[in-house]
Amino acid sequence: MTYISVIDLLASDAIHQEFTVKGWVRSFRANQFIALNDGSTIKNIQCVVDYENMDDALLNRVNTGAAIVVTGILEESQGAGQRVEIKVKSIEIEGDADPEEVKLTILSPKRHTLEKLREQAHLRVRTNTFGAIMRMRSKLSFAVHQYFNEHGFYQAHTPMITGSDAEGAGEMFQITGLDLENLPKKEDGSIDYSQDFFGKETNLTVSGQLEAETYALGLGKVYTFGPTFRAENSNTSRHLAEFWMIEPEVAFNDLDANMDLAEDFIKYVISYVLEHCQDDLEFLEKRLLEEDKKKPQAERSTMLLREKLEFVINNNFKRVSYTEAIAILRNSKPNKKKKFQYLIDEWGADLQSEHERYLVEKHFECPVILFDYPANIKAFYMRLNEDGKTVRAMDILFPGIGEIVGGSQREERLDVLKEKMAALDIPEEELWWYLDTRKFGTCVHSGFGLGFERLVLFATGMTNIRDVIPYPRFPGHAEF
C-alpha cells in the first residue's frame, strides 16, 4: 500500500481524491475528529470519522499515541485552522497505545518539564517542542554539508579513537580493552599499555582538527563533522560530554580569510533554516514568548526568534581585538560595580561567558569576532604573532550563547611549533606525524571549530544544550 506524508497531504490540491496516510494519534475528539501526525511537519492532518458507520471496537482503540493507517478522501476543511482534511473511509490499527499508560507519559495533554521529557527520550520527539527541534537539527545538518559541498570542500572522516590530545586539556575519556580487574603492570607499578588493544594509551577524541590539518595540506579545503567527547565534570546548561563538531581546515587561508569563512558559513546555515523551517520556527517563537512571560523584564529576549536569526544574517559581525575587548570590559559598569562573577583586572584574563555575553548583548548588540588572544590561554598550534605574546586566534560570540566558534591561523613554522610544544611538555614523538606536515611543503593555513549543538541552541531559541541533542550525555547520565 502506498501512502502520503502529512506534510505533502496538507500541501496537496488533489481535492476529492483518495489517499492513505500513516501516523500517530495526537488526539481524538467527540469520537469524530482524529488529529494525526507522522513527524514530517509540526502540523496535524484532521481525519473526520463517520462514527455511526464505524466499528465501535475499532474506534475504542484510536487512543492518543496509537499508530494508525487512515484511508479516505481529501476534502476542503469546513472548520477553522486547516485548509484540507481527510474524510475517513477506513482505519487500521498499526500499534495500540494503552490509555492508562499514556496518562503517565509525555503523550498525555498535561504539560511536562523539559527535564522530565529527557527521562523519556524514546517518546519526547513526539511532542511539538522536540519534534520541531529535531527537524531543525536535521535541516541544519543538511545545510552544513550543502554549504561545504557548494564551496569546494571535501569531507574528511577523522578518527574518534586517538592517542593524542588536540586541546592539551587532559579531559578525555580513556578507552581500553584491558581487564580492569587484572591490569598488567610495569616494574614501576604503572599500567603497561603495550598490552592494550592498540599497544598504547588511547582516548575518545576531543577534536578532529589535527587530523583535518593533514588532509587540508593535501586536498586544500576539508571539513569534519562528527562526534567529539569531553570528560569535563560540568553540569551547566552549555556543556555536554558527547557533542558534534564542525571543523573546516583550509590551506593558504590566513586569519582574516578564516573569519570571512566562519561568518559566511554561519549566515548560510541560518538562512537555510529560515527558508525551510518556517512552521517549526513559528511554533518555537511562540513557545519562547510564553517562556519570556515568566521571566523578569530585564531577562526577556529583546527580539523575536526569527527577528534574531534575520538580524544575524543581515548584519556584519563586529571584529574586535582581545586587547580592545579587555579595555571595554575593564571600564564597564558591571566590572566597576563588581557585578561580574569574574572581575577583569588586567590584560591576559581568560574571558568567561558573562564577559562574552556582555560584549555581544550589551556593548556591541551584534555578533562579535574577537581575535589576537594572549598566547598563554590558547592552544599550542595557534600561530604566534610578531609581538611574541598574542596568537592569531579568533572566537565568534553570539547573544544568549557566548562562544559559538573557536578558531585560528595555525602555526606553520616548525621551529616555533616545537618551542611551544616543549614549553607545554607535549612530547614530539606523540605528534611526530603532525610536525611532519611542517616539513613537506608547509603553508599558511587556518580553521575553526563550531559546536553543532550550540548552533542548534541558537537557531531554536532553546536555553539548555541538553534539549537540542537526541540523547544527551552529561555527568551521571548515559541513559538510553
Q: What is the pLDDT of residue 58?
A: 96
Q: What is the pLDDT of residue 39?
A: 97
- Tell me the average pLDDT of the chain: 93
Its sign, for the CA torsion 172, 175, 178, 182, is positive
Give the separation between CA 38 and CA 33, rounded to whole angstroms.
16
The average pLDDT across 433-458 equals 96
Give the separation between CA 331 and CA 339, rounded to whole angstroms.
12
Q: What is the pLDDT of residue 300?
A: 79
pTM, 2 dp: 0.94
CA 171 to chain centre: 20
Sheet of 221-229: strand order equals: 154-155, 221-229, 242-251, 445-451, 402-409, 390-398, 368-374, 318-321
Q: What is the pLDDT of residue 169?
A: 56
| Coil, helix or strand at residue 372 | strand
Confidence of residue 301 (pLDDT cuts 50, 70, 90): confident
Tell me the per-residue pLDDT of 39-87, one tens digit each, with 9 for 90 and over.
999 999 999 999 999 999 999 999 999 999 999 999 999 878 889 999 9
Lowest mean pLDDT across 18-27, 117-126, 381-390, 406-415: 117-126
202-204 and 161-162 beta bridge pairing: antiparallel
pLDDT above 90 for 295: no
Tell me the per-residue pLDDT of 74-124, one tens digit each, with 9 for 90 and over.
999 987 888 999 999 999 999 999 988 887 777 765 667 888 888 888 889
Single-letter amino acid code for the residue at 370 = L
Main-chain phi, psi angles of 449, to 5 degrees: -120, 135
Confidence of residue 26 (pLDDT cuts 50, 70, 90): very high
The average pLDDT across 244-262 equals 98
The average pLDDT across 14-21 equals 97
